[in-house]
Structure 1
Amino acid sequence: MSKTRPVNSPTKKASASKSKPRKSSPTKKAKGKPSRSRAKKPIKQSWFKRFLKRLFVISFMMGLVAAIPVSIWVWWLDKELVQHFEGQKWQVPAEVYSAPTLLRTGDQWRKQDLEKSLQQAGYRFGRNSQEVGWAARSSIKVSAHLRSFSDHTGDYPAQRRIFSFENGQLQIKTVAGQEIKSAILEPQLIGHLYGGSSESRILLSYEDLPKTLINGLLAVEDRDFYQHFGISFTGIARAFWVNFQSGSRKQGGSTLTQQLIKNMYLSSERSYSRKIREVVMALLMEYRFSKQEILTAYVNEVYLAQHGNKAIHGFAAASKHFFARPLNELNIAEMATLVGTVKGPSLYNPKRHPQRAQKRRDVVLNLLHDQGFINDQQLSVSLATKLQTRTQGGTKSLYGDFLDLVAFQLSRDFDKATLATESLKIYTGLDTRVQQAVLESMTSQVKALKQTKKGLKGLQGAVVVTDARNGQVKAILGSSDGHYTGFNRALAAVRPIGSLVKPPIYLEAIANQSFTWLTLLEDDETRFDVGGQLWQPENFDHKYHGNVPMYQALAKSYNLATLDLAYRIGFEEVGDALRRLGVEREFTMFPAVALGALELSPFEVARLYQPIASAGESSQLGIVASVLSNEGEVLKEFRQDTRVPYSKAALATLRDGMRLSAQIGTTRAAQAALPELVFAAKTGTTNQQRDSWYQGITADYSTTIWLGADDNHPLSITGSSGAQKVWIEMMKRLNPTSLDRSLPQGSDYYQVSTNEFKLAADRCDDKLTLSFLEGTEPSDKNFCIWPF
């Protein structure tokens, strides 16, 4: 029997799975009409929801796409930051240092000279010398706590020493009273090479940073430094609140890390893009580097002052600039002054605006006190301390000529880029005390000469001072007006040397043992045929002196007697002697050369005289002693060739004979001015008095001095009345040591009678002590026994 299906009952398809029975909801059936079920239509979303959905999808896709270049940008920033920070962060030019000052018991020193040397080195004088870099003085003594230093010769610890000056001789003792032989005053920074003209910076390590400086920076610039990760929200909030209360921008919210990023990587442009870059780089820097590395970089990088065309970067360089002493020797008030300049290097410059800088310093001191870094007493003392800056002498004027010489020597071994950027340490033989004396003596004496003599307009000069023993250049000056001009006359003024050529001739005569100081020379009229032309020389006094002993001819600088000697030796042999002593400049040997028609610079003359001054201990001049890397590694050590072509006995005999110039010759004025000093010397004057020369030798110094005009016009001064005055003034300032009268093996002193040229007994009245090479002394003796 069939059943009729209800028309409103849906037909179900057969399913393999058992379906859940559906609950039917009660519905009201219409009468007389069959019941019908309606299919549900999908609910439509509103246009706003569809818009949001599409916007989310599009934004998500755009975010994914944008993340790629942003990631690349962040990666590039990170790479740039790391490469610059870990590599050569600063292009620091090579630093040039003087020689350390060796203070030896028994050396000639005056109390005021040592005090001046300590002051120039930045030592602070007070009641005691317990702290490093401090000195104290009484009426007869000086005590100093000398600084530690390292160079190519080793490490030298800090040492506290007591100095006294009995009879002008230095005596050195420890604080406990123990006598010691020597003490060393550290080398002084005298300048930079190449890049140093635009930027000054002294690099410090984290271990070198004074605690007071770190506390000051944290108190003033970034008190949350050790808590934040590059940016400080609390710092920003604090700055906002302070600025809101004051109604002006009194405090910034940038961290030390952000400030370092701005200084090292970014421009001064103010824009949102630059600020975003600053924040990202600050976060990267904090992630990549430690707090100690960031703080050290900040201390070395921050700009603090402008000195002429030179920017002063870093607290160490600023300490030298404002207070002329190392950073770790500053007191709390001075340290606070430097920290205060960070806010406005021009506005709070303590040299230009001392009152404004002191007010800013006091703000820093109070912040240090409020945050517990200093106590009440330290605050009170520091606030009461008067702000005092100390100007350090301009190194370019004082040492510019020497720095040129250093650059010239190093150009053979180092390229200019390395010297300008690699922070090398260059140690030299320069003596700051001697350099200062040279400058002051030259400027004062040239000024006096111009005032007392006519025809000296445009008078210029040059000086070269070497260590008489080892040949190290102690000082060099290329002008007479005290200003570095770039034209170094000590190297570039090539002029006839006049009678300074004579001692090498006498040396050659002594060395071949055919001549002694008693050999008679003919000082008489003479003529020479030179290339078909007749040359008739004269003595300076236009007189003839007949037969004169060799010692007298040299002491009184007789031209005709010297020509007689050169003729008897042989002019070619004279030329060879000059070349053996170091003359490298080409010249043609003819008779006039024996009277000084040889053109050399003052530096070349100093080289010529070095074997004589050292009595055979050294022959070449030394400029640079060593070059060290910033880490202390010795990159280059320079050693002079000490080979000398003459025996020590011959050189010492000549030098001893040059002493007689001070007793009976052309340098008697120097002996009168320095009666206690034993020295050797020679004057030189060229035709028409165009050039004034002087060569002086003591146990300490060999000094070459030239005066003349750049246009070579005639002057009214000789070697005695011109250059000798500069030397006298120098020696008064330096208080040098007398020449030792001892002679090396192979030569000895003999007492001779001046009228018979025989060995003289002690009872003889007319006698003289002269040096002779072994075997050349007189054989006859005058006993001076007179019958009654």
Structure 2
Amino acid sequence: MFFTMFTFSFSGVTNELRHVQKVDEILENSISIDDFSFYSNSYMYDAYGEIFSDIYSAENRIYLPYNLIPATFIQAIIATEDRQFFSHKGFDMNGITRALFVNAEKNGIEQGGSTITQQLVKNIYLSNERTYNRKLTEILYAYQLEKTISKEKILEYYLNAIYFHNGVYGVEAASQFYFSKPAKLLSVAQVAFLCAIPNNPTLYNPFTNLENTQTRKEWILTKMLEMNDLTDAEFQEALAEKIELKPARKKDIFPDYVTYIHYELEQLIGEKEGFHQKIVDATSMEERKTILQKRQQRVEEILASGVSIYTSLQPEKQSLIYETIEKHLPEEHIQGVAVIIDHKMQQLVAISGGKNYEKFNFQRGFQAFRQPGSSIKPLLVFAPYLAETNASISKTISAASFCKNGYCPQNYGGAIYGNVQIETALKHSFNTPAVRMLDEISVEKGFSYFDKFGFSKIVQEDFRLPAALGGLTHGVSPLEMTNAYTTFANNGRFLKAKGIQKVVDNNGKILFQWDDEPKIIWNDEVNSKMRTLLNKVITEGTGRKANYSRNYIGGKTGTTNDFHDLWFIGLNENYTTGVWIGEDQPSSLAKLNSRAPHLLIWRDLMRD
């Protein structure tokens, strides 16, 4: 019986031994360098290279590679946290022995004897529980990590990971947050002051316990002197230096533009990484929803990696929009937006989202879809008509009454005219000639041009004669309309203006940028005729209040039924600007119409 039991046990043990792994193998499977991925701040830059938006949430961190970390930070941390850092293999037996004696004396765990490497693995892989079991695991992990990556890389990770209170992580973000300048510009005393905080962020929080922070700063300087990192003169100078905090606030201005750039970034990543095509190919709403979620996760991942988003924002023009709309539209309940595009570069230089706009709210500049009224005529009717018939702008069209299949539009005020020139029909915005022209070339032909602008809310039900006067199912956005009008500044060629120039990672590598090619909508001759017509609108027609002295200006008014929307879209030599005025819940703006704030806003923006 004994022999049988022994044989059975021996067989079981042998079987178990076959599955036993070496400690090294276990640690190799547990330690992954991929775990060292830190959230890092992202930034939006304006056209002049200035930051106008810091992007971060819970962790304010600006990641610095080892070669950019100031030597004084490394010296201060090693002098106070781990003097044997460059000689040990992840743990320091002298430190551990010392800690064991202290803990035995206190009958608890008072000291940990942790090296920098141990502190790093605790933050990345382990919990903060104070047990000997966790401590042993920490030592083993630290030992394995030192075999895996260099000492310099460990310091890089550590100095970017440590917490400086107030939501700030890493030496660069701490420097920017507490002193409003980069780490490379800090004095020795300022470095020692910052290095005091991570030891106990609450106890050494400079905003609540400044005296504690100062005391530990002096202790750190003493340790740096002991390590010969400082001369006596440097030590005395650093001790005498008075520390003055200059807290930096999170930079986040121009919320209208910031909101739009977040949207455009989503579109850019979606196009470049194939999400858009997958959305198009989706066979169900559930599948489409899943793809949209994945796209959003990817955007968040990109922003968390620490990127620089270079944009076309011109701050002076963005500010000018705010001032001009406030000047000409003081009524609280009435909204107004403007879009300014540099059509030579096809760059969106300014866009507003409404008066007193707050970030990530409904952004009327690109999210409000309204009936465009007569501002649609140049795009859907007049330019396509000239392209299809090769007519001159002096050709006459009937402005008499019109009826077809029960649709009987009227001119403003019910006026009836005889034959009028195309030029007259546009500059005075007569309705019946426009409907006749679209009917002559066919609704389908007019939309064959209009569709090239990529208006996002156009549906099949819009393919009817009322569209000639802006009668659409869902409408168009101010950004879409302004984009379309840039065609008249570019010889009939169309390319959507972009706010994002490029997205760059921490190493300066370009991750994303637009590379679209312009489309030809109509030829130079048609475009030249349209420029003349648009100029006549301002100099002689419905847009006279927008006139100012300039080499070339042109544009078109738009007023919808019951004066629910007031539009003016136009251009000069350098910019195309669109203005929309209305209420979020459409109601009559008849009392405003005679004052023409949309024309005055456009004039002041373009003139100034």
Q: TM-score, normalised by structure 2?
A: 0.75
Residue aligned with 1:411, SS:
helix
Equivalent of 1:693 in 567, 586, 599:
567
* Counterparts of 2:100 and 2:35, CA distance in 1: 37
Identify if the C-alpha distance between structure 1 residues 533 and 612 changes in structure 2 by more than 3 Å, giving closer, same or farther. Answer: closer
**CA contact under 8 A between 2:307 and 2:506: conserved in structure 1?**
no
Equivalent in the alignment of 1:481: 356
Residue aligned with 1:495, SS:
coil
**CA contact under 8 A between 2:385 and 2:446: conserved in structure 1?**
no
**CA contact under 8 A between 2:311 and 2:502: conserved in structure 1?**
no
What per-residue deviation string (whole Å, max 9, x for no partner) do you get for residues 305-364 of structure 1?
Answer: 455xxxx43333444555565544555555445433323445555577777766765665
Residue 250 of structure 2 is aligned to residue 383 of structure 1: no
Identify if the C-alpha distance between structure 1 residues 261 and 316 changes in structure 2 by more than 3 Å, giving closer, same or farther. Answer: same
Amino acid of the structure 2 residue aligned with 1:296: E
Identify if the C-alpha distance between structure 1 residues 239 and 335 changes in structure 2 by more than 3 Å, giving closer, same or farther. Answer: farther
Equivalent of 2:78 in 218, 236, 252:
218
Residue 287 of structure 2 is aligned to residue 431 of structure 1: no
Q: 1:284, CA displacement in angstroms?
A: 2.5
Amino acid of the structure 1 residue aligned with 2:470: G
Matches within 5 A, 1:555-634: 555-559=427-431, 562-563=434-435, 566=438, 571-583=443-455, 585-586=458-459, 587-598=461-472, 599-616=475-492, 618-622=494-498
Residue 104 of structure 2 is aligned to residue 227 of structure 1: no
Select the structure that is richer in helix.
Answer: 2
* Counterparts of 2:111 and 2:547, CA distance in 1: 69
Amino acid of the structure 2 residue aligned with 1:77: L
What per-residue deviation string (whole Å, max 9, x for no partner) do you get for residues 256-305 of structure 1?
Answer: 21221121111222222222222222232233332101101112222334
Residue 27 of structure 2 is aligned to residue 80 of structure 1: no
Note the residue ranges of structure 1 that are not aligned, 5 or more in a row: 1-65, 102-116, 122-187, 244-248, 736-788
* Counterparts of 1:535 and 1:521, CA distance in 2: 15
Matches within 5 A, 1:516-535: 516=393, 518-519=394-395, 526-535=400-409
**CA contact under 8 A between 1:78 and 1:281: conserved in structure 2?**
no
* Counterparts of 2:602 and 2:261, CA distance in 1: 19
Select the structure that is richer in strand.
Answer: 1
Amino acid of the structure 2 residue aligned with 1:391: R
**CA contact under 8 A between 1:92 and 1:420: conserved in structure 2?**
no
Q: Which range is displaced more, 564-573 or 470-479?
A: 564-573
Identify if the C-alpha distance between structure 1 residues 270 and 250 changes in structure 2 by more than 3 Å, giving closer, same or farther. Answer: closer
What per-residue deviation string (whole Å, max 9, x for no partner) do you get for residues 472-491 of structure 1?
Answer: 44444444333123544344
Identify if the C-alpha distance between structure 1 residues 444 and 69 changes in structure 2 by more than 3 Å, giving closer, same or farther. Answer: farther
Identify if the C-alpha distance between structure 1 residues 350 and 676 changes in structure 2 by more than 3 Å, giving closer, same or farther. Answer: farther
Matches within 5 A, 1:99-498: 101=48, 120-121=50-51, 190=53, 197-232=57-92, 253-306=113-166, 312-322=168-178, 326-330=182-186, 332=188, 334-346=190-202, 348=204, 364=220, 368=224, 371-374=227-230, 376=233, 380=237, 383-384=241-242, 386-394=244-252, 397=255, 399-414=258-273, 416=295, 417-421=297-301, 430-434=311-315, 437-438=317-318, 440-441=319-320, 443-444=322-323, 452-453=330-331, 456-457=332-333, 459-498=334-373
Identify if the C-alpha distance between structure 1 residues 213 and 242 changes in structure 2 by more than 3 Å, giving closer, same or farther. Answer: farther
Equivalent in the alignment of 1:639: 515
Residue 36 of structure 2 is aligned to residue 89 of structure 1: yes
Residue aligned with 2:403, SS:
strand
* Counterparts of 2:369 and 2:301, CA distance in 1: 34
Equivalent in the alignment of 1:105: none
* Counterparts of 1:689 and 1:292, CA distance in 2: 68
Identify if the C-alpha distance between structure 1 residues 707 and 335 changes in structure 2 by more than 3 Å, giving closer, same or farther. Answer: farther
What per-residue deviation string (whole Å, max 9, x for no partner) do you get for residues 199-244 of structure 1?
Answer: 454433222222232223223433332233323355568899999x
Identify if the C-alpha distance between structure 1 residues 96 and 270 changes in structure 2 by more than 3 Å, giving closer, same or farther. Answer: same
Q: 1:554, CA displacement in angstroms?
A: 3.8
Q: 1:701, CA displacement in angstroms?
A: 3.5
Identity %: 25
Identify if the C-alpha distance between structure 1 residues 563 and 270 changes in structure 2 by more than 3 Å, giving closer, same or farther. Answer: same
RMSD of Structure 2 on Structure 1 (CA): 4.5
Residue 582 of structure 2 is aligned to residue 708 of structure 1: yes
Q: TM-score, normalised by structure 1?
A: 0.60
Equivalent in the alignment of 1:648: 524
* Counterparts of 2:417 and 2:215, CA distance in 1: 78
Residue aligned with 1:263, SS:
helix
Amino acid of the structure 1 residue aligned with 2:136: I
* Counterparts of 2:426 and 2:496, CA distance in 1: 25
Amino acid of the structure 2 residue aligned with 1:400: T
* Counterparts of 2:219 and 2:418, CA distance in 1: 85
Q: 1:620, CA displacement in angstroms?
A: 3.1
* Counterparts of 2:540 and 2:211, CA distance in 1: 63
**CA contact under 8 A between 1:206 and 1:292: conserved in structure 2?**
yes
Identify if the C-alpha distance between structure 1 residues 425 and 286 changes in structure 2 by more than 3 Å, giving closer, same or farther. Answer: closer
Equivalent of 2:378 in 495, 503, 509:
503
* Counterparts of 1:359 and 1:699, CA distance in 2: 63
What per-residue deviation string (whole Å, max 9, x for no partner) do you get for residues 38-60 of structure 1?
Answer: xxxxxxxxxxxxxxxxxxxxxxx
Equivalent in the alignment of 1:150: none
Identify if the C-alpha distance between structure 1 residues 619 and 290 changes in structure 2 by more than 3 Å, giving closer, same or farther. Answer: closer
* Counterparts of 2:73 and 2:594, CA distance in 1: 56
What per-residue deviation string (whole Å, max 9, x for no partner) do you get for residues 734-778 of structure 1?
Answer: x6xxxxxxxxxxxxxxxxxxxxxxxxxxxxxxxxxxxxxxxxxxx
Q: 1:386, CA displacement in angstroms?
A: 2.7
Equivalent in the alignment of 2:285: none
**CA contact under 8 A between 2:121 and 2:138: conserved in structure 1?**
yes
* Counterparts of 2:535 and 2:201, CA distance in 1: 58
* Counterparts of 1:377 and 1:653, CA distance in 2: 75
Amino acid of the structure 2 residue aligned with 1:612: F
What per-residue deviation string (whole Å, max 9, x for no partner) do you get for residues 580-617 of structure 1?
Answer: 44446225343432222231123332332232233345
Amino acid of the structure 2 residue aligned with 1:483: E
Amino acid of the structure 2 residue aligned with 1:399: V
Amino acid of the structure 2 residue aligned with 1:79: N
Equivalent in the alignment of 1:32: none
* Counterparts of 1:686 and 1:356, CA distance in 2: 67
Residue aligned with 2:134, SS:
helix
Equivalent in the alignment of 1:515: 392
**CA contact under 8 A between 1:628 and 1:635: conserved in structure 2?**
yes
**CA contact under 8 A between 2:354 and 2:364: conserved in structure 1?**
yes
Identify if the C-alpha distance between structure 1 residues 596 and 327 changes in structure 2 by more than 3 Å, giving closer, same or farther. Answer: farther
* Counterparts of 1:652 and 1:351, CA distance in 2: 65
Q: 1:668, CA displacement in angstroms?
A: 4.9
Q: 1:399, CA displacement in angstroms?
A: 1.2
Greater relative contact order: 1 or 2 (C-alpha under 8 angstroms, separation 6 or more)?
Answer: 2
Q: 1:704, CA displacement in angstroms?
A: 3.1
* Counterparts of 2:420 and 2:187, CA distance in 1: 69
What per-residue deviation string (whole Å, max 9, x for no partner) do you get for residues 552-600 of structure 1?
Answer: 5544545456456556665554333322444462253434322222311
* Counterparts of 1:661 and 1:374, CA distance in 2: 75
**CA contact under 8 A between 1:694 and 1:719: conserved in structure 2?**
no
Residue aligned with 1:224, SS:
coil
* Counterparts of 1:396 and 1:222, CA distance in 2: 45
